[in-house]
Amino acid sequence: VLSNWIWKLNNNSTIKFKNLFNQIGENETILRSGSNFLQRGEDKFKNYLLGYKARSIYIGQFEGNHNLGSKGKLDWTIGGNYIYESEPDLRRFRTIQPFDDPNAPFEMIDPASSNLFDTGRYFGFLSEYSLNNSINYTHTIERVKNDEEIGSIVLKTGYLTDYRQRNFDARYFSYLLPGSVVENRNELKQLPLTEIFNSINVNPNDGWVFNEGTRAIDSYDSSNFLLAGYAFAEIPFYKFNFTGGLRVEHNVLKLNSNNETEPINIENPVTSVLPSLNIAYNVSDRSILRLAYGRTVNRPEFREIAPFVFYDFENEAGRRGSENLKTATIDNIDFRYEFYPNKGETMSLGAFYKNFKDPIENVTEITTEQPQFKYKNAENAYSYGLEVEIRKSFKDISSVPFFSRLSTNLNASYIISEVDLGSDVTSQAQKRVLQGQSPYIINAALGYEDEKGFSANVIYNRFGNRIFSVGDNIFPTIYELSRDNIDLTLSKRFNKVTYKIGIQDLLNAKYRFYEDSNRDEKIEDSKDNPTSVFRRGTLFTFNVTYNF
């Protein structure tokens, strides 16, 4: 539900009230089969996930815009967001068949105690709200030489406050077979999934018992308060245009939870000084040379610092946060040449360099017989590379009506990266490629639009093999292999009504996760083991928009 209101107080002031509400319901069924050589050698698994998730999202905001004479402008916002998520009964089951007896029935794994992996039912609830406010003031200094305007100096300053509060609660249960159940134990484990846990087979005498494994670690409450202020200036000087400023942020992240033995109370205040500078040189009316520098931060999310462990069914591993996670700082340098053939068209070639301090990575940690994922800071890292971007219409290329209605958008990058874990690192290589960074990324789009309201767009994406989770001497590094992705949208407008069809992941290409078994930092099917191979399926959407 979308509703926007505008009040025009006078010719110089307007107030907007924006509202967006989204209610999402998702049913999900995953059937997973194969071997898990880390746990049961060549035995065959058939695993099941059955769940429903409901999510409510509301975003509301007041905005004000006020012209203060010919040189000053003031704008402000007051807003709030609310998110509620409920996962009322997520069921996860694992069954197994011995590799040396392909005719044997699959048996339900009966755990010794309640856990997240076997015969599990999970209940999760999350609520979060946020409040924010900002004020920006812009002052323009007009410059005139020989009765001609030579470019205006723009000065801008403002502040932002943002507060977020989250509460998360989870419970999980498992079906267990007590040691006293001997006579029909195998028969119970071999029942089909539609019968195995019905009311007859769940009883304290000769059947499954329902046992809760919830601990204090499975809930947390957290908050984040951000206060930021900035000053900015834009100064034209002959063929040059200088823009730059300074932003100072003070962020306080708090979280209350528990680990295995004691309460955890995190309060992490961080003050960040973030300068930026952009120098543009107008080579001609249609081309620009640009050199830019900026510092940014990457703050941990609540989920990344909470010690709560969640079972990642797709990767058959637990995933937990790290309470010691630090904010990452990134220094960015960018140099590029930009050419604008026509209005709305761009061609650019650029080089970039990024330096990371305390980058956040997804790593594999040792638990028992299986891997578990967590988040961890590396000491420092860098990446650099080349990027090309092209946005071009075919109007001035072909006079044929069909081709003249086409347009294309291409973005491609080649990246080299390295992360340094520090001299005191153990059980890992000190230097390697940055986790999550692909060596190349390609995005391409082809669009068609005519005068009768019909449009079509095809979008293609591909990335190079990248590290999914960093390993060590025991668990090898896991890579996500490249895949081709194509999305298609078709749209047609009839008077006030627009119909839109969307197809995401048209090829339904496989997601492939392989471990670097021989630790040569590359993946070969004949030498390395797959940890997970699956297809998500193709998503079809239909949208109708009516304009009053």
pLDDT of residue 536: 85
Q: Is the pLDDT at 426 greater than 80, yes or no?
A: no
Tell me which H or E stretch contains 96: strand 72-97
| Secondary structure class of 330 (helix, strand, coil) | strand
Q: Is the pLDDT at 149 greater than 70, yes or no?
A: no
Predicted TM-score of the model (pTM): 0.84
Residue entry with tokens 């107030």: 15
Report the CATH fold assignment for 215-224+238-460+486-494: Maltoporin; Chain A (2.40.170)
Q: Is the pLDDT at 457 greater than 90, yes or no?
A: yes
What is the distance in angstroms between the CA of the first residue and the CA of the last residue of the chain?
15
Distance CA 271, CA 393 (A): 45
Choose the weakest-confidence range: 39-48, 55-64, 329-338, 493-502: 39-48
Q: How many CA atoms lie less than 13 Å away from 457 in the CB half-sphere?
A: 14
Strand 478-480 vs strand 466-469: parallel, antiparallel, or unpaired?
A: antiparallel
DSSP secondary structure letter of residue 510: P
265-313 pLDDT, tens per residue?
Answer: 999 999 999 999 999 999 998 999 999 999 999 999 998 999 888 877 7
Q: Is the pLDDT at 146 greater than 70, yes or no?
A: no
43-70 pLDDT, tens per residue?
Answer: 899 999 999 999 999 999 999 999 988 7
Burial grade of 177 (CB within 10 A; 0-12, 13-18, 19 or more): buried
Q: Output the average pLDDT for the chain.
A: 90
Choose the weakest-confidence range: 184-198, 365-379, 461-475: 365-379
**Ranges of each domain in the chain:** 22-60+74-213, 215-224+238-460+486-494
Residue entry with tokens 């059955």: 50
Closest CA to 480 of 501, 466, 463: 466
Report CA Rg, the chain.
Answer: 28
- Three-state secondary structure readout of 166-187: EEEEEEEEEEECCCCCCCCHHH
Structure tokens at 532: 């997970």
